Structure formats: structure tokens, C-alpha cells
Structure 1
């Protein structure tokens, strides 16, 4: 068995012997989408416990160390940790009660173990998944354009890191969302992160990410590439289009 999945099974076996645990759910590539598991995959999971037991599994990590000694760990949120085992398995987990689990959005979970009296539907979230305010071509297009506009102004002001985020991160996220709407759903799409597995979904001649994300020192070139890519595929409003062109011209990168 793949080491990551084996570690999850080992943890589940250990927790199954305790009377204050309800279930262990695998997520991501350790969940229902195990076909995408590879040597670079980490281990994401939920530990579901009795209402009065959460503190034990949050504050104490003896159960986490049961299968293998830890090389490193830290609390990355109030009820969860990230940890690296000595054998190289990296894990990220959250400890929840059943009531809390019912209120959070997640997808493609897998029941690794559950107590006999726990309903089988525990791995199905009924909480709404995160969505943009408007998941439409018009929204993503104009959001990308305004990201470019704001980012170019930040670049001209000398706020290069902020410009990088607006141009090479926020605008590119909207470009990927446009690709999803025009090309259909990519395999194993992650509703929490549009950038996951995007290289496998769209070839470089369709989505030139290397030119759209060339790095910290190349914000204007990235903005030009994204702006031209959008203009070839979608009706860019002449008002915002002219404003972006003027900013590119001021940057000495457009004619």
C-alpha cells in the first residue's frame, strides 16, 4: 500500500480502540480521489470525536505519534496541526465534533473508519461550497481586468509585491475560472483552489501560464500577456481596455 494511505489506516486503527472517537475521514488524494495520489501527496484528514473529547486530541498528540515518531509539528489552526513524520509522510488534520463537521464545507471525503453507531453519511457535507459572488464569464472577465488595472497602478507606485499579487495571482485565478467555464470542468477540480492541477487540464498553447506568471520583476509583461489573452477571447469593455492600455504605455511596455 502507498505509504500515505498506510499511515492513515494505522492512525484509524489506533483511534478505533478509543471510546471517545467517532470516525476518521480521508480528504483530497487520501479521500475519494485516490487515483491522483502520488509520491508528492500529503495526507489530509478529519478526526471526529465526542463533544467533550476534542481538547484531548487537540492538546495531546500521543495518538498522532503512535504509528511513527514525528520529526516536526505545529498547530496551524485552533483545532488542527501540520506534522512531518520521520519517514517523510506529511499530514494536515483537524479535530472536529460531529456537529462541527456538519457545518463546514468539504468534498470527496472517504470514511476510513467509523464507530458502528455513527451514520454512514458522515462523509457527505451538506454545507454550501465556497463560490465567487458571481460564477459567470462577465464577472471573471471584468474582475481580471480590474485586477490588472489596480495591479499596474501598484507597479507604477513601486508596490511591486502588491502588484504581483493582483496581476500574477488574482487576475490569473480569474483567467483559470474563465477556462473552466468555457472548456468544462477539469478532472479532480478543487473548489477551494482554482490553481490545483491546472497544468494537466489546459496545455501551454491554450493557457500560457509561463508568460502570465513570469515572476516578481515582470509584472508589466505579465499584465500585457493576460490583457492580450483576454482581448482575443472575450469582449473587453472599451473603457477599462483603454485605461489598461494607457497604464501599459506609461510602463514603457505597450505601443
Structure 2
């Protein structure tokens, strides 16, 4: 058994002795997709507890340390923590009541343990949230990518290189991934509905998605913008006005 799964089983055995716990759910590579577990995986889970018990299980680590001492931890939000066990297992978890869990969007959960009288369907959930924008279309993502490049290059020319890198090598690339999702929907890989960047290298070879050129690093914003613009122009009807404006910025002298 993978050490991550064993850790969850050991936690479940301890939690079963506590009267105010309801269930333990594995998520991510500790959920239904546990065949993805490898040496670089972290341990994601939800702990479901009785009403009123959430603060106690977030603030106290005694239950968490039952299988192995906790070497480092911090509360990353009011429902959960990130922790590093003494044996090197890194975990991120959140604690909810049954009612709170029912309102959460999540996918791929696996029941590691639950009380016999726990409500049915704890690991079931509705569809993940739709993208923040209602404009989930090729036209929208294409033009968002183009304007990300445009704004980013202006930031670069002003000397705001970090901001530029986010627009050019992060925001615009996110739109590229959205375009691939819409135009190549049958790619056989496990899409993450909450983080589109996960496992894209498994889905698209470099000749389809040249990430090394699109994300070359802090000092290479212009080179990155040039690659992404070329990628977009090769595959989609890029508006000539914004394309010309971007190309002009690619050759413009920086301020100062």
C-alpha cells in the first residue's frame, strides 16, 4: 500500500474512536484517482465532523498526529491546515460539518471511513463551478489572450517585469489552455476542473503546446509573447489590429 493511503487508513482508525467524527474523505490522488499517487504526491482530504466540532479539529493537531508526529503546520484558512509529517508526508486538509460539505464543489472524493449511521452520499457532489466568466468561448479566450499579451508588453516596456511575466506567461497561457480545452476536447488525460494547468504535459506534446517557449522565465517576456502570439495566429483568426499592436510592442524600446 502507498504510504499516503496507509496514512489515511491509520487516521481513519483513530478517528473512529472519537464520537464527534463522521467521515474521512480522500481527495485528489488520494481520492478515486489514487493510481496517480507517486513520490511527489501530497495528501488531500476532508474530515467531516459533528456540528460545533470544526474549530476543535482545525485548531488541535492531536488527532492528526495519532499515526505520526507533525513537524510543521499552519492554518491556511478557517476550515483547514497544511502540515508536514515528521516522515515527510505533506498533507492539506479541511474540516466540515455534513451541511457544510453538501454546499461544496469537489470531485473525485473517496470514502476512506465513515460511521455506519453517516448520511448517504457524502463523497458525491454536484458539478464543479463553471469558469468565473460566462464567456467560455473560443472568441473570448482568444481575445483575452491577445489583450493579456498587449498589456503585459506595456508592463515590460515600463520596467514592471514581474507584472509583465504574469500577464504574458501566466494569464495568456491560461487562455491558451482554455482554447485547447474547447478545441481539443477528446484529449485523453485527467483534466482538473479546479486547476487547468495540472497534467497538461501528459495531454499535449511540445509541438502542440510549446510551453518551454511560452513560459521561458522572468527575463524573457518578449520572447514568450512572440511564441504565444505565433501560436494563436497559426490556429485562430486573430484580429489584425491587435496583432499589429502587439508586434509593434515587441520591437519598441523600453522606457529609460
Give the TM bin, normalised by the shorter chain.
over 0.9
Matches within 5 A, 1:85-96: 85-96=85-96
Residue of structure 1 equivalent to 2:168 = 167
Tell me whether 1:192 sits opposite 2:200 in the alignment: no
Aligned twin of 1:69: 69
- C-alpha contact (below 8 Å) 1:190/1:196 kept by paired residues: yes
Whole-angstrom CA distance in 2 between matches of 1:159 and 1:125: 42
Q: Take 2:192 and 2:130, find their aligned partners in 1: how far apart are those partners?
A: 11
Match of residue 5 from structure 2: 5
CA-based RMSD:
1.3
Please say which of residues 143-152 and 114-123 is displaced more in the overlay: 114-123
Q: Distance in 2 between matches of 1:94 and 1:132?
A: 23
Matches within 5 A, 1:97-136: 97-126=97-126, 128-133=128-133, 134-136=135-137
**Could you give the per-residue CA deviations for residues 108-140 of structure 1, whole angstroms, max 9, x where no partner exists?**
111111111122311112365241412211111
Runs of 4+ in 1 over 4 A off after TM superposition: none
Q: 1:47 aligns to what?
A: 47
How many pairs align?
252
2:208 maps to 1:206: yes
Higher helix share: 1
The answer for unaligned runs of 5 or more in structure 1 is none
CA displacement at 1:61 relative to structure 2: 0.8
Distance (Å, rounded) in 1 between the aligned partners of 2:127 and 2:207: 38
* CA distance 1:176–1:204, shift in 2 (3 Å): same
Normalization by structure 2: what TM-score? 0.95
